[in-house]
Each structure stands twice: as C-alpha cells, then as structure tokens.
Chains A and B, each alone.
Chain A
C-alpha cells in the first residue's frame, strides 16, 4: 500500500527524483530551491541512489551539464529559482531546440531588482517561450507526482521535450504536507529506464547542435512548434495512466464550482487552494462565483480553457507576474488570446496579486472579485491592476 507521510515538499521532490532513478543531477544552490539540492546530495552521499551528483559553479553550467549528460542518454535533473533561472535562460532554449528531455523543478521566486527571495512567477515568465513543457502545481503531492509524469512524458519518443515543474517558492517548497509515496515497483513499471532515440556514442557518430541558415531555420522552428502542440494527447494519456495507477487524475485545467458561475476566478499555481476557500465563502453568501485553475502552462490548453470559461460573464484572472509596459499579466494575455475568436465571450479583469510573496488571503480574492465586477459593470472590460499596492 502507498504510504502517506508528512514531509517538507522539497524533500518529497528529492525523494521523487531518487525514485525516478535519475542518472545525473547537477545544480547550484539558490533560495528557495536549496532544500531540494541539499537533500539530493545527502541521498547520493548515503548511497541510497546510484547517480552522479554535481554541485557546480553556476546555474549556467548546471544546465549545460544536464544538456551534455542527457545527450549521452542519461536521465538528468536540475532545479533552480529566479536569478539562477535567468542565468541558465540561454541554455533552456538550447535544451528544447535539441529535444533533450531534462527535468527541471523551478521553485518560483521573484526576479531582482530589488532583490527578493519571495515567491511569484516573474522568473519563469521570462523564459515562457523556451519550448519546454511546463506544469504549475498546486501542492506537494502534485510536485512529487509530476516528477514521474514529467520523465514519462518528456522521454516519450513522440514528445522528446524537456519539462519544467513550477512550484511556488516557500509557499510550497518549505511547507510540510502529507505526501502519499508510491511503491517503487509501481514507479519502475510506470517509468522504465530512458531509451534515447539518439545518443552521443562513437559506435554511431551523430552531429548535434549544427547551425541553421535562414533557408532551413524556419523549418526547424515549425517542427518544434508542431511537436510541442502535438504533445497534448500524450500529456493527457500520461496523466490518465498515472491516475489509473494512483487514483490521482490530473487535467490541464481544473474547475471548482465553475459550471454555473457568472464570475470565474482564474488562477495558476498554489494560490488556487486559497482561491477555492474564497469561492466557498462567496457561495455561502449566495454569490455566483467559481474557480478555474490552470495546471498546464505549455503547451497552453486553449480548448480546455475555453470549455471551462466561455459560459461565464466575467473572468477575474489572477497573475503572479507583470509584463511591465505590456498588456498586464502573462496568464491574462493567454486567456484573452484563447477566447478572442469567440462571438460571445466573457469580460476579463486582470489582477497581478501576490507579487514577491505578498500574502493573498481568501478575503483578498473576494475584494478582487468585488472590484472586478464593479469595474466591468461600469464598462472597464479589459482592466489591469497590481492588487494591494499601498499608495
């Protein structure tokens, strides 16, 4: 039987990396990702896991080592946050361009300046278009589960993409939660050893990382775009298989009391759990509100999002990052793009909330919904604001 134990989410993530039989781990410490690397180095030092662990001299090299090891056919893992992710940004594009199914956990944290170690999504939004599959998880169990899901998906020969699991820094990384650990035999069945399609080896010499002239580059970009979009059925299939094994079924977009709601909150990441508390409170007061949570960020689930939202009158989209000088928050941009072509579509009001770790409590969601409903009523149908700023 699966065991349910209380543990820090970072430790659960490290345990999952162990259970996934990762071959190479290469990382550089940064708050709030540190506990994952620390625990992994302990696991390897204790001989609980047969892997090569390298605490290297920078995140740029951490990702570069993963790129090199993955190219030989070794299952590779790294994790980082904020400045570290920024430093490896260049490499994230190369990893996906070369179709290397590395797994990276990002313990999301604010990008400087001002320097801040607290949680929001500004780090990963910087590399939004890097061509990785990207999940946003809501709790520790989802982090743990998605380590296996990610490798099974990324390494599938019909997919071959690196995967990012976004988990909110501190809010998830440093809290203790009950985690249901899966038996090793089940994991080994779900996730057999990686069988690369191509690997660097003298017995079959290949060239990887050739350069492309304009006459051929567009074709390579299209191939990548088609493949990442085309990964959607596999994403669903892997989630289904995982659900059949554990009873925990995941979907690109989750809804909560949304079917008949006039106003829908749209969230991504761990604030979804708090938002559901707000929805319950408002429902008790007779308000017609519900919740839509985005779990899959790339490839973006346009269809699922439409299905979940088109019936509503108002969407209140909560972003955890700001596209400075741009259209507001990145999630709202995607939601708008998803429903733009529909003849009848809800109005959208966009808040950036919980910027750099500012608390977002249930009453904050209620305030945001109140404000959005009034604004939309008054004709401001595409508004954006940063919530809770002291002026």
Chain B
C-alpha cells in the first residue's frame, strides 16, 4: 500500500523546480534528488545556507548557479552557524520594519562530513540556541566531494579511500555515528530520518519541519553511486533496501517521542543491500554476520523506543 501511494502520489507534486536541472552531479546521484525534493517541499520562500561539499560544487560554478531560491555558501564546517545568522538577521530586520513581515524558512544543508564531523560543534550550538530553522544533513556516508574519504557516518566495513580494505583492515573499523539521536539529545522539537526513495514521506517531514517553531533536524540517507561503487540506476532501489533491511530506518522524534514511520515485521537480510555495492565487496561472511547482528540489535532498540514513545 505504502509502495503504491509513493509511486502515484509523487505525480501530485509541484512541477516547479527550485534546484534547477543542469547541475553537475553524477548520474544516479540521490543526494541531488534529496535536495531537489526538499526544495520542492519548501517552495520559494526560503533561504538556504549550504556547506562545502558535492551539492555546493555541482550547483555553483561562478558565474552559473542552479539555485532559484536565495542560496548562500560560506564554508564547510559552519553551516548551522551561518543559518543561525540568517535566521536572526531576518528576525531583527522584520522586527525593525526594514523588510516586510513574512514567513521565510531558513534551511541549513550539509553533507555527513559537514554535519557529523567538522560541523558538529556549530550544529550543536545552533540546536542548543534553538534557532527557528531546518537543518538538513544529506548523508552519503563519506566525504564524496574530496574523493570518497571516510567520515564518522561511514558504515562499519565500508571501503573508502581513507578506510581502504587491505591486508590487515577490512574497511571502516568504527560504527556509524547516530546523528539523529545526537540531534534529538538537544531536546529540539523535531528530528526525522528520510530517504528520497520514499519521496512522499520525505516531503511530509520537510513540511512538518518547516511548520514547527524552533530547530528541526532532518537526516536524509542519500545514495551515491560514485562513492558506493553501485550502478547509477540502482540508487532508488538501494535507498529502499537500506530501509527494508533496517540499515536506515525511517522515524521521527517529535518533542522527544520516537515514532517509527515504516515498520517491517521481518527485515530483509543486509546482504541483499550490501551485495549491490562495491564498497562492501571485500567483506567476509563473519563480518557481514557481525554487521547483521548489530543492525538487528539497533533496530530492535528503535522498535522499543517506538513502543515506549521515548
């Protein structure tokens, strides 16, 4: 049912594009798709503060731009702070009557590196201060812009250019940082995970985030065929498998209350997800089992939170 709704309901979306076609992302880039959907959901009355990273580089080679909404790139690690400044600037200018009163949504956008690693301090500061803005992390699980280096959001076992699979190490040796939980720990009103393979779910969450007063955090899994060593035409499928295997569950945390949006009574084995990606090719059966056990455990924990509500 969910499946069908997603397939047909997408056609009801606006035809308008605010992240214009013609940008330079790779074929099958689901990060670009995520950004495009976020923009569709928000409409034109927004200002985007973007971090350095793939989405910045593919969209803004001077003197061209792919942005039909106000878009501001400052640096890699300070997106949340820049977005704070924009939000505050708009607020004070409206209060003083120097620009007309109107709802303008401030959006911070950064990759997993710009969020979970180098930008974590600025993000924590902005969430703690409680600015009225949306922060969107498009998580492709590595520093793709600089050539597929590991981040703290890279999954265990994945081979990247700085966590290569070699004779002594089998790729990334740490477990993926739980950014959504970190954001939720700031007691902000809204946190959600999303994936462009579930466009309607993603769009609803973005709209909710925009309506909520205060800081909202969205963590969007964004398949990157270039970095994941996957076929470009499999990006949507891979996003679905990430959800169906429990690798990337879709859930919300509203005022501290957890809610699993799509629960699967039985998860698909993660092998189905991993075998389509070159970055996991080197993994042994034992390692896959170890990862499977961890995923089962984390998913179970999330289910319990969903039941308990917190």
Contacts and interface: CB of A to CB of B under 8 A. Distances in A.
Interface of A: 23-24, 26, 50-52, 54, 56-58, 60-61, 64-74, 76, 90-91, 94, 98, 193, 200-202, 204-213, 216, 220
Nearest to B82: A68
Given A200-B47, A202-B104, A71 B78 contact: no
Interface residues on B, range: 35 or more
A71 B96 contact: no
Interface of B: 44-47, 49-50, 56-57, 60-65, 67-75, 77-78, 81-93, 95-96, 98-99, 104, 121-122, 124-126, 128-129
10 contacts: A24-B92, A60-B78, A60-B81, A65-B81, A65-B82, A69-B88, A74-B93, A76-B89, A202-B104, A209-B72
Given A56-B84, A69-B89, 7 more contacts: A23-B92, A24-B88, A54-B84, A54-B129, A67-B82, A68-B72, A202-B70
A64 B45 CA distance: 22
A315 B72 CA distance: 47
Contacts of A70: 85, 89
Interface pairs A-B: 10 shortest CB-CB = A68-B85, A72-B89, A57-B125, A209-B73, A69-B89, A64-B81, A65-B85, A61-B81, A207-B65, A74-B89
B76 to A, nearest CB: 9
A61 B122 contact: yes
Contacts of B49: 68
B68 to A, nearest CB: 6
A174 to B, nearest CB: 28
Contacts of B121: 57-58, 60-61
A222 to B, nearest CB: 14
A72 B93 contact: yes
A251 B3 CA distance: 72
A61 B92 CA distance: 19
B60 A207 contact: yes
A371 B68 CA distance: 65
A68 B296 CA distance: 42
Contacts of A50: 92, 95-96
Contacts of B128: 57
Most A-side CB within 10 Å, residue of B70, B75, B87, B122 = B70
Contact of A207 (B67, B74, B87, B124): B67
Nearest to B57: A211
Given A54-B88, A207-B60, A73 B73 contact: no
B45 to A, nearest CB: 5
A262 to B, nearest CB: 51
Contacts of A206: 70-71
Contact of B60 (A69, A74, A210): A210
A24 B85 contact: yes
Contacts of B71: 205-208
Contact of A211 (B56, B81, B91): B56
Contact of B89 (A23, A202, A204, A212): A23
A68 B74 contact: yes
Contacts of A51: 92
Contacts of A213: 61-62
Given A58-B125, A74-B89, A202 B77 contact: no
Contacts of B67: 205, 207
A49 to B, nearest CB: 11
B70 A200 contact: yes
A61 B96 contact: no
A314 B81 CA distance: 50
A280 B104 CA distance: 62
Contacts of A60: 77-78, 81, 121-122
A71 to B, nearest CB: 6
Given A67-B74, A68-B85, A52 B91 contact: yes
A64 B86 CA distance: 10
